[in-house]
Structure 1
Amino acid sequence: MEVKFSPINQILAFCRQDLAISISKAINSQEAPVKEKHARRIILGTHHEKGAFTFWSYAIGLPLPSSSILSWKFCHVLHKVLRDGHPNVLHDCQRYRSNIREIGDLWGHLHDRYGQLVNVYTKLLLTKISFHLKHPQFPAGLEVTDEVLEKAAGTDVNNIFQLTVEMFDYMDCELKLSESVFRQLNTAIAVSQMSSGQCRLAPLIQVIQDCSHLYHYTVKLLFKLHSCLPADTLQGHRDRFHEQFHSLRNFFRRASDMLYFKRLIQIPRLPEGPPNFLRASALAEHIKPVVVIPEEAPEDEEPENLIEISTGPPAPEPAVVADLFDQTFGPPNGSVKDDRDLQIESLKREVETLRSELEKIKLEAQRYISQLKGQVNALEAELEEQRKQKQKALVDNEQLRHELAQLQAARLEGERSQGLREEAERKASATEARYNKLKEKHSELINTHAELLRKNADTAKQLTVTQQSQEEVARVKEQLAFQMEQAKRESELRLEEQSDQLEKLKRELEAKAGELAHVQEALSRTEQSGSELSSRLDSLNAEKDALSGAVRQHKADLLAAQSLVCETEAALSQQQQRSARERDELQGRLAEKESEEQGLRQRLLDEQFAVLRGAAAEAQCILQDAVNKLDDPLHLRCTSSPDYLVSRAQAALDATSALEEGHALYLASLTDVSALVAALTRFSHLAADTIVNGGATSHLAPTDPADRLIDTCRECGTRALELVRQLQDQQALRQAQPGLVRTPLQGILQLGQELRPKSLDVRQEELGAMVDKEMAATSAAIEDAVRRIEDMMNQARSASSGVKLEVNERILNSCTDLMKAIRLLVMTSTSLQKEIVESGRGAATQQEFYAKNSRWTEGLISASKAVGWGATQLVEAADKVVLHTGKYEELIVCSHEIAASTAQLVAASKVKADRHSPHLSRLQECSRTVNERAAGVVASTKSGQEQIEDRDTMDFSGLSLIKLKKQEMETQVRVLELEKTLEAERMRLGELRKQHYVLAGGAPGAEEPGRPRATPRSAAKKPPLAQKPNVAPRQDLQLDKKDGIYSAQLVNY
């Protein structure tokens, strides 16, 4: 199948050819700096193709292992492309990390001046690629604003800490390259004007640009870290920054004195001393170093054929298809049904025609793809065959070289041997030539394969466009079918409506006919009743005449009765007038009584509301004071226990229920406010007490629960203040809802229950007995450990001899000394606890003192258990080491664990001890002794391990180059496997520690090292260390280095 190249493809091919010429001119073996015009064309090429595919396709074919200068200039050009090239260059370079690393490792093993620089430069490039891939917010040019830096750092202290460390590593690589370059140059300034010196100095321009940005970012991040963490935690960061600062300042000073840099770059000057990170205001004194690259004069370039590539006007998009249904069928009432059916059939035929055409296009595209895949498979098979031939040629070459070596050894045997040697040399040269031809053929096949892959991608794009067209036709077909179905439904609906109207008219006609029959029947009945009424009228007239006579008689009687009624009405009117006057008088008196009673009632209501308003105002002051204490710096030293917070929150919830009842009673009877006032007073005190104790409890809680507890307390205060403000307003009094305060109180109650220690599950009255029992158990465990160590020593003396006996005795003696020191520490701790109980219990009993200070007591119990368990584990580890069934590392870990446990016991005992107590001084002295004895166990174990273990020397004699290379690869595979296993075990160790901290439940005196320590919220927090627990700072009992190597968590009570 013949492939036709369009003019665009020809232009792109010419551009790639031009880019290849620039690469070959920029990266050569001449000891001279890379010309800026060639580097600029390579960078523009990456922007034209939006990546570095062409650059790497030519660069990977360069003979970099043959010339160190060529590799040095390749690294320089790659650094420029990374900094100023297209952003996609970074991802393209990620795929060639192994090639960059191999070049650096190759030249690092050779004693070549440029080779050593190439080794350092490749490490810098790998670090740069890794950093910018991990942090895409930073471009390869490292130029971002302070806002982007703040966003990239985030608010998590751990992320800021890690980002600072990575920038330190980045800066170390940059400074190491500059130091390596200056180390090889002569100290004279004139060396920068020589081509050899300029070849080494040219990459330092990019190093200066990177270092100026990295220095500014590290200063910003260190100031931010010092605002979040204590100064002691960041001592290592400050020391490392000071070293880099002095190295960078020396680098800038030396570079600015060289004539080569003066015309190419304006180097900033750093201050005389590093910034003072311990003073926050020093950030305002920091000045960002700015590197200025002056505009270069245009160089005289050789004339070249330049092609301006411009994209034509975009193809006009297809016009939007109008409403196909209206265009095809017309309005709903426009035409006859048969015409619409014909049009639908024609559209269906057109859709089928389009579908067949799409199928043809799809089949043609699939055939084209199949052909391309066949060509690719054939080329790959040919490539595989060439590789096999290459491998066979390499084997033949190796055999011929071996034969040549044998012939050279037998050179003195005669002319026959000389002839054979010359023939072997000819074969070797022929094999070398064949190998070079195979290598060139391999490169051509790779380029052909890449071109076919690009064609395959273009074909896939065409297939995608075809599929999109097919989907568009399917959508048009579905739209037409839907509109046709809709028209059918509308016609059926109209037909049904007309039939319904016809049926309705028929029913109305039948109803009118029935009504007409009824009217005719009623008319006949009316005529019959008229005749009946006329006969009845005659009889009524006769009765009327009889009655008229009776009426005249009644009129006479009525006149007599009327005269009697007039007399009676006159007497009755007089009586009514007297009754009206009496009624008016009584109504006036009643109105006066009602107005007086209304005034007294209103006065009573005002007085009752005044009492309620006064109580609500007082409650508002109490609650406002409690809410203000949450932000009061003086309140940060106040602490409280979760148990007390739970009791206060439960009481506040009960008071809320009483407040709801009082509010309901007051609304039912506004004359009695006593129940509401009493409930409001109790509620305000209990709610304020809950808010204050919630804030105090948050000072000892981890960060996340503390933040949620503070927010819940604020919400509780806000709702309580809103409630009391409503109770002071007569308009809002009836809309007040005391139940809204219950939700934040329940949240405080739940958080308090979550913050309760979960390490021990005993009743408070049993804590005193538990302390004595655990201390006695610890002493017994230590005594038993001492006896077991003595037994093991006797067994070792009888069962071993020589070096093993010496090692076992030294280890067991150090373990015995450690156990004795621990026993003395436990005895001293017991005496100090008795002194604390006697001095602090007052009139209470010992059990009551332990119950009152339950958190401290639980810390003692936890520490005692840890000491006893550590002693048992140490003895078991020592037993296994003596019997050669265990590892020396187990003994070292047990020593560290028991030292940490004793330090925990010391810290827990020191919480309530008097600083001037002699028992406390002896306890601290015992703690130092335990740490020394633990260090002795570790030292003796390590020395014994080094003394016993044999170190076999490696014998590489008898190994050929191929076998050495094979063993080197197998060793690298083994190293990678072990590194992967190590990473998995570290993750497992982290999960185990996390589960251990969850099960421990935050016991006092032994807080998990993986969780934030219980410090006041204003105190700075540093990242947790896996080796030692953190200690909360206290002014009254401040731990220092005299207390031992390990420190335990202190809790305020």
Structure 2
Amino acid sequence: MALYSQSTRNVDLSKSETELTTNIRKATSIEETAPKRKHVRACIVYTWDHKSSQSFWNGIKVQPIQADEVQTFKALITVHKVLQEGHPIALKEAQQHVAWLESLSRGLGGMGGEGMRGYSPLISEYIFYLISKLRFHRDHPEFNGTFEYEEYISLKSINDPNEGYETISDLMNLQDQIDSFQKLIFAHFRNGSNNECRISALVPLVQESYGIYKFATSMLRAMHTTLGDDEALSPLRGRYDAQHYRLVRFYYECSNLRYLTSLITVPKLPQDPPSLLDDEAAPSLPTRPKNEPVTKPITPPPRPRETADPEPINEFWKNEQARQQEEYAAEQARLQAQWEEAQRQQQAAALQAQRDFEEQQRLQAEQQRLQLEQLQRQQYSQQTQGRMAELEQENLNARAQYERDQLMLQQYDLKVRALEGEISQLNANFQQQSQSKDDQIRALQEQVNTWRMKYEALAKLYSQLRREHLELLQKFKGVQLKAASAQEAIDQREKLQRELKTKNLELADMIRERDRALHDKDRTTGGHRDELEKLKRELRMALERAENADRAKGSELSGMLSRHNREIADLEEALRKKTRALDDVQSKFGEGSSDLERQLREKEEELEVYKSGMDQTLLELNELRSNGHVNDSAMDEQIDVMLLDNIRKINDIIDSVLQSGVQRVDDALYELDSSMQAGNQNASGPYVLSQIEKAQSSAMEFSTAFNNFIADGPNSTHGEVIRTVHTFSNAIADVLSNTKGLTRFASDEKKGDQLISATRRSASSTVDFFRGIMSYRLDGLEDLQKTDVVINKNNEVQIALNNLSKLADAFAPKATKISNASGDLGELVDREMGNAAKAIEAATERLTKLMNKPRDSYSTYELKIHDSILEAAIAVTNAIAQLIKAATASQQEIVQQGRGSSMSKTQFYKKNNRWTEGLISAAKAVARSTNTLIETADGVISGRKSPEQLIVASNDVAASTAQLVAASRVKASFMSKSQERLEECSKAVTGACRSLVRQVQKIIEGKRKEGEEDVDYGTLSGHDFKVRQMEQQVEILQLENSLSAARHRLGEMRKISYQDED
């Protein structure tokens, strides 16, 4: 029966191999898809059916898989699946075909890089892995294709731990190769395609990696349980943990591939590797199975020879057996012939397949050669055309570059000429400044020499007076000693007292003259060179010490003199009393001369006592003078300490004031850059120019005050510096606010940005000015260097403000520019202010005429409306008249205070030409807006104009009066009464304009209510209500569009009218 089954399988062998060849060809097709599972399954089943894989290897070798990268890759996938799931004999037979697999890798050398379709690196890595897998199975034949070894799980004994250690190490090496290969596959995924062919290679990798993981886990647990040596197994544990984490990531990425999850179930591992030490159920370290003894095939015993003379009873069975033998031999011969025929057909089919393959290879090579030649021709043509296009493009680029270079050269020439002009101008200015500084230095040097001569003369005079004073004191003492009587002592005392008072007065005058000379000398020599400053400081400190010593000695001397004078006065009083008593006695009595003589002797004795007291006092005075020199050094040190503390406190105060100025300018800069702040919307060109002029003068005033503060040294006062810092920072803040408001007149966005940039640079220069002159930055510099720093910083601010003034000058009306005007500017300003006053008077007269105009044609309601409008307009004109008077008074006060005694009104106006332009522009604006208001009021009353026009005219009046007040505020002094009066008048004008607007709005509201339809929307149907609602929305949208267009036109008209204002 077994022979019959074997013969049946031989009969179907040709058909099976044909089907196998067909399945291999379909599994390794050229399409970039995964090998069909049924085709690969057929190859696997063939190995199990025939218990051989030689036909599979023969069939796959004859396929043209090396002609295409995809075919090669799919063939490797098929081989991998057969090795993994085929008959175990396939792993042994595959060892003979390792050279063929290596030849596939060498065949990739002509592809280069990634290959035509990106599979070249994948094929090389796949072949390397398959060879490593076959090498492992050669060394460890006990493992199947998926690395499952069930005997290791059940074994409990151990023969050689080193063998188990090597087995796990080899498996982990193979696991590392799987990880490297799968990363390469993921890295070669392409966007825009399904990557099905690449993903199919991950299926056997997932299965084998999980088999290796399970075996390694069981094996390591068994080794830990058996050996108990954790340190010896620590390298394997480290590799096991690392591979666990890589497998977790690998399986996670595989689970995100929908095609892969549709083929297999991706394992799920815990995030952390399992414990290999605490598993009590871990099996013992297994041993490799022993080689089974090879059993020889059992051969049937030889048939015994038949006897020549068989028994008759067996003759029938003998004949029957011979017949069956013959039939069996015939059947075997027939089957052998069929098998040989099948072998010949198979060989013929193989030869035919080989010839077909060679012919196909030749045709493919010829086709590839033709395609390569055509591709080369196309590439050559494309390269030629591309080169021509590149040459044309390079020609055009060169021509354009030449034109740009020519234009750039012209621009550079213009810039060079402009820079040369600026350099020449700067050189001229520098020479002029140097000449003026040299002249100033020479003049100051002469003044220093003059004051030095005066000081030397005063010093000589002072020493002479001091010497004379000492001589007089000596004479006074000698006279006192020589005085023989009270009368002589009194006369001498009076004489000495008069001389002492005279000398004291002269000494006080000299001291005052000396102080004045020192003060003037300190002020004039404040900005000189280092040597003069050093000499001045030493001289001043020496004089201060001398002055302090003289003052102390003078106070001591005056105290002693006052004490002596009191004693002399007491003596004189006593002498007068005694003399009167003596006269009384002599007049009453003619005798008693002895008593008188006795009393006279007593008085003389008392006088001698007083004289001795005087001598003792003079000796004490001399001792005090000698001791005064010892105390001078201690007093000088105390004075120096007090001076340094005072200077430090003053510097701290100045730094805090400068920081407050920086903060003020920074706040203004924030408002300049803030989109929520629109600036002063009433600012005009002349007003901004006047603000810039004020900032420039404030900067100069601050620089002068600070230089004086530096020059005066310890004797300086800081009140002026604080005041000028406050004025300067506020002026810059006003410039920023008003300049931002001025940008509304810019014709385009570029001009507005230029104006804002120039304003920002001015503010930044101011901040740098304040920060650059703080005490910690000026420490270590001489006074002349400090003065140079202040001058340079001020020059930077002046340059920035001049640039801003040039840009803002373009926004000033042409008619109000008077910088080049001829004639008396004072008369021009007075005339404009007078014209404004006359316009107000004319407006008032016209309103009075309108009030007295006949009203017979008006109804009572219209009369009421007209009266309310005229009354409000008259209130506005009266307030404006008061405003003009207050503005005239404020302007006269400003001119009187600003020009001083050496400057005429015309010179003052020319010096402050920006402010003058703003004042004239504001006066004209007031007159013009007032006339417009009266004309509009007349038109509203007569019905020629609408009430809305009257509101616009009233707002224009309020804006023009605000401009006039702002122009006056620029030059007004602090706490000026006339300016306060002007501000009150401005508030009155604003209130009157608001009252007029309220009256007109009431009129408009009344007309609106009269013109509205009384519609009951509740009675409308749903469709009618929706139609009405849509109509209202359309009307609102149309009105908004019209309003936006009207505002745009008004803005453009204002820009043009403002620039061409006359």
Same fold, TM exceeding 0.5? no
Structure 2 length-normalised TM: 0.28
TM-score by length of 1: 0.28
Larger radius of gyration: 2
